[in-house]
Structure 1
Amino acid sequence: MTTTDPAAAAPHQAFAADAPLPAIGDVRAAARRISGVVRRTPLVRSDALSELAGTDVWLKLETLQRTGAFKLRGAYNFVASLADAERARGLVTASAGNHGISVALSARLLGARAVVFVPDDAPEGKRRRIAREGAELRLVAGGYDAAHAAAEAFAEESGARFVNAFSDPAVVAGQGTVGLEIFEERPSIRTVVTPAGGGGLIGGIGVVARAIGDGVRVVGVQTDETAALHASLAAGRPTSSVYGPTLCEGLSGDIDERAFRLAREVVDEVVLVSEDAVRRAIRWLAAEEGIIAEGSAAVSVAALLEGAAGEMRGPVAVVLTGSNLDAGRLAAILSGD
């Protein structure tokens, strides 16, 4: 494990920023490609949230995904889409945890080398899992955006394929399979509430909702400390902002032009909740549903508990994106700290 200085990072991406945005056909192709590797996760009714919302509320449990988070869908679709010669160049990415775990596992399953740049304040448990899957872990000071810049610079210098965590078309298409599964199982869903970070998951779900949903409302949720997408949509352009400490590291970091373009087309609204509301949602999920959710997942339930998402047109699907919460942090939250 090494620590990297992100200075002088150069931009690098393996796709054109103005290339066509993913479409429903790309999501369906991703679903076929990831089948047998990525779990089709349960969609279960929450009696307590249904009573609170006054309509049926269904929980999409990506907490039960193979890596403990939805990110495997996009990462595996990307790596499996590459030609053998491209995979032989190696893979590199930046991650606050879940995406890195997923790229590392995908690389191992498909016989590729992976290097993952991680903020040095990322949860220790997630860092251990990245290393355990066989990737080379490099720690970067300065938060997620610094890790992202360092990973892009490494790709430029080494020729490795950079796996964008949120705006590569193959990654977005893979994440969109969450939405495909929701609507295949419950075509009557009229509102989807999902965590929103860099825009890959909500963008992929939005592509599906616009293609096969009947007037479906797509609502993203961020916290006050991870509000880049919310701020960008409000400003009408991608904005760069500095936020404070967060329980939702998976939602932190800025979004790029491509992710912004997709969100503007397929997302109806992004709402904000407080970090304290996320803690309350984690406790509520554990007590009422027996579900362990990390902060970046619990934001979607926090929006319902706090009434932040407005009046719900049902049935409603709420995406719980992951369960990778350090035991010590979970214990502190459950005890009220």
Structure 2
Amino acid sequence: MTADVLSLEKIEEAKRQLAGVATLTPLDHSVTFSALTGNTVFLKLENMQKTGSFKIRGAYNKIMSLSEEERTRGVIAASAGNHAQGVAYAAGRAGLRCTVIMPEGAPISKVMATRGYGAEVILAGGGYDEAFQYAVELQAKSGAVLVHSFNDPEVIAGQGTIALELLEQLPEIEAILAPVGGGGLIAGIAFVIKKIKPSVRIIGVQALGAPSMFLSFKEGKLTGCRHTCTFADGIAVRQPGDLAFSIIKKHVDEMFTVDDEEIASSVLMLLERSKIMVEGAGAVGLAALIHKKTGLKSAKTVVLLSGGNIDVNILSIIIERGLIKTGRYARLRVMVTDQPGNLRRLLGAVAEARANVISVSHDRIKPGIPLKQAEVILALETRNRDHLEQIITSLAGIGYAAEIIS
């Protein structure tokens, strides 16, 4: 497929089709991230979209375009989670039979949400690409219509409606940062923007652990990657779409990658500073801006937060690791003489240093601990890394050598 299957008329029609279904999501001016990056930053909150991500736009537009004969066959899709929910919701609304293939490791929350919308969910494969291959095999047997998550003109047209909204919400827009997996989202946005306001800089961002479209963009030809390794499961795609790529190479200005640490820090900053919850895939654009990948300066910049369906287990790990990294949570190992009163003396010193004790482990029988000694593990809540260093120095001053173990 080539880019000529897409048109502004098709995307305008998609917008009409989605009226009353997709939410007009807010465009939020962020003072925090503007000051941090030196740009005027606006957050397009697609994490607040129905089903928790932008995917409802493309999925619904595709399903509504099916003929009566196609509808009788039902639909099938493969997805790590967000497209799954979009397809399931759209199919349920249209009264169609729906089967969704999801990777075996898909977040339980996304699996349950997809089933909650009425779809039959089958878990297969270790990632999106394996799930997609299984969906293709099932589709050949069942005759159901395959609703591709990114390489379909109707799906791309649906995603392109975001750009129409942005031009209405911020006519003076100068740059857009969008997440990239298979490429359907940025393809739709870039197509619209470059037709209507070509001066706007379109920047794609991929996870470093799943860089297939980034590599394709840099090499000028469709290029896959052998495996993916990122917690941003929504954009963990090994083989990007040929239709999406044909649009991207013509209309996207630049593409960058960010690693999982940069993504995780952006997820945490959004949660703590802006009270906005996004998944890993939704935070890559902001990660690129915060970590100075783009070179943008003093630009009216829209960062697309594409989804908010983060697994709570992943979120808890991100929060804990973020607290450790900034010195706000620490576990200290301290050896004390095994005598009455020594533990109380240690804890008194910690309290005097204004640290909050979360837990205490006292062990004098573990192998390797010298006789007449005890190992104390303290989990502490601290203000920052400077405060943590002050606590360690304070303990050293009264004879306790504290070692940070996490």
TM-score scaled by length of structure 1 = 0.92
Would you say 1:152 and 2:136 are equivalent positions?
yes
Partner of 1:44: 28
For 2:254 and 2:303, the matched residues in 1 are separated by 15
For 2:204 and 2:3, the matched residues in 1 are separated by 24
Partner of 1:260: 245
Greater strand proportion: 2
Q: Report the AA paired with residue 291 of structure 1.
A: I
TM alignment of 1:174-323, pairs within 5 A: 174-253=158-237, 254-312=239-297, 314-323=299-308
For 1:58 and 1:256, the matched residues in 2 are separated by 28
Say which of 52, 58, 74 aligns to 1:68.
Answer: 52
SS in 1 for 2:270: helix
Partner of 1:112: 96
Deviates more, 1:108-117 or 1:47-56: 47-56
For 1:311 and 1:243, the matched residues in 2 are separated by 31
Change (3 A) 1:225 1:210: same
Would you say 1:92 and 2:76 are equivalent positions?
yes
Question: Aligned-pair distance for 1:326?
Answer: 1.4
**8 Å CA contact 1:99, 1:165 repeated in 2:** yes
Q: Report the AA paired with residue 271 of structure 1.
A: F
Would you say 1:166 and 2:166 are equivalent positions?
no
SS in 2 for 1:242: coil
Cα deviation, 1:199-239, whole Å, max 9, x if unaligned, reads 10000000111111141110011111111100111222111
**8 Å CA contact 2:47, 2:306 repeated in 1:** yes
Partner of 2:6: 22
SS in 2 for 1:218: strand
Unmatched 5+ stretches in structure 1: 1-16
Percent identity (aligned): 38
Question: Aligned-pair distance for 1:51?
Answer: 1.4
Partner of 2:61: 77
**8 Å CA contact 2:3, 2:246 repeated in 1:** no
Say which of 106, 121, 124 aligns to 1:122.
Answer: 106
TM-score scaled by length of structure 2 = 0.77
For 1:323 and 1:42, the matched residues in 2 are separated by 14
**Which structure's CA Rg is the greater one?**
2
For 2:168 and 2:154, the matched residues in 1 are separated by 21
For 1:181 and 1:312, the matched residues in 2 are separated by 24
Cα deviation, 1:273-309, whole Å, max 9, x if unaligned, reads 1100011001100111110010000111111110112
Question: Aligned-pair distance for 1:133?
Answer: 0.9
**8 Å CA contact 2:55, 2:159 repeated in 1:** yes
Question: Aligned-pair distance for 1:240?
Answer: 1.9
Deviates more, 1:151-160 or 1:71-80: 151-160
Cα deviation, 1:237-263, whole Å, max 9, x if unaligned, reads 111212343111110111122221111
Q: Report the AA paired with residue 307 of structure 2.
A: G
Question: Aligned-pair distance for 1:142?
Answer: 3.2
Deviates more, 1:327-336 or 1:282-291: 327-336
Unmatched 5+ stretches in structure 2: 323-406
For 2:262 and 2:310, the matched residues in 1 are separated by 16
Change (3 A) 1:19 1:156: farther
**8 Å CA contact 1:190, 1:313 repeated in 2:** no
For 1:136 and 1:321, the matched residues in 2 are separated by 25
Question: Aligned-pair distance for 1:311?
Answer: 2.1
For 1:206 and 1:255, the matched residues in 2 are separated by 16
